[in-house]
């Protein structure tokens, strides 16, 4: 029996079937190893792709948030231009004489009296030039308030820059007022008004200052 065992193994080793099974086993192990390796690589690649996609989504979201204020900017710019054009047509006086005429109308309607009226203009701007009017106002208190309210609410664009009380007696109020409006540069140039820089305009004299000066 002992002598027969080695011969049996030798016969089996010589058998092509034995080597076929051995080769098949090796191939099966190799396929299993390659399958495991491919699965590991696929998992790693898939995980990386998910990370890359998530990062891209975050970048896209951030880009959308950054560009949100710019969406529809062309429409807003066009709307602003239309509103600005409408404002110029409705509220900016076409020339100097229209300013003086309007101030005169408001004076009559409110029942005040304007005196020592002075018109000047500021240095011309790119789109508009400021026109300044300084005048004394006298009248009873309700009339003065009507004039001031009418200036502030008038369709023509006026801004009251300053007011100073210069006297009050027997129900009569005396004020010094400075009012600004604007003209287009070509209309301001045609007005012939003297040009005064803002820093050269003195403050309005109040009643206290007037007494000190006397």
Q: What is the CATH number of the domain that holds 103?
A: 3.30.70.60
Residue 165 lies in a domain: yes
Domain containing residue 195 = 93-213
Residue 23 lies in a domain: no
**pLDDT score of 169:** 83
Q: Which residues contact 96 (CB under 8 A, 6 or more apart)?
A: 119, 131, 183, 187, 188, 190, 191, 192, 193
Enumerate residue ranges in the chain where pLDDT < 50.
1-2, 208-214
Residue 116 lies in a domain: yes
Residue 104 lies in a domain: yes
**pLDDT score of 5:** 57
> Considering its fold, how many domains does the chain have in total?
1
**pLDDT score of 50:** 60
Q: Which residues contact 81 (CB under 8 A, 6 or more apart)?
A: none
**pLDDT score of 166:** 87
- Mean pLDDT rounded to a whole number for the chain: 81
**pLDDT score of 206:** 62
**pLDDT score of 16:** 62
**pLDDT score of 67:** 72
The pTM (predicted TM-score) of the whole model is: 0.62
- Residue whose entry in the numeric block shows the structure tokens 């004489």: 97
């Amino acid at each position: 029996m002992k002598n027969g065992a080695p011969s049996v193994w030798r016969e089996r080793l010589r058998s092509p079937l034995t080597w076929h099974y051995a080769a098949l086993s090796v191939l099966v192990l190799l396929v299993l190893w390659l399958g495991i390796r491919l699965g590991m690589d696929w998992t790693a690649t898939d995980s990386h792709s998910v990370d890359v996609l998530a990062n891209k989504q975050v970048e896209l979201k951030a880009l959308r948030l950054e560009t949100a204020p710019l969406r529809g900017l062309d429409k807003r710019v066009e709307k602003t231009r239309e509103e600005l054009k409408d404002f110029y047509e409705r509220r900016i006086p076409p020339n100097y004489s229209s300013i003086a005429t309007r101030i005169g109308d408001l004076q009559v309607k409110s029942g005040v009296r304007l005196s020592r009226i002075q018109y000047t203009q500021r240095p011309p701007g790119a789109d508009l030039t400021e026109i300044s009017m300084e005048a004394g106002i006298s009248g009873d208190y309700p009339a003065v308030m009507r004039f001031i309210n009418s200036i502030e609410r008038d369709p023509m664009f006026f801004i009251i820059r300053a007011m100073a009380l210069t006297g009050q007696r027997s129900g009569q109020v005396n004020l010094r007022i400075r009012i600004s409006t604007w003209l287009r540069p070509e209309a301001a140039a045609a007005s012939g008004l003297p040009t005064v820089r803002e820093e050269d305009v003195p403050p309005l004299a109040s009643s206290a200052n007037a007494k000190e000066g006397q």
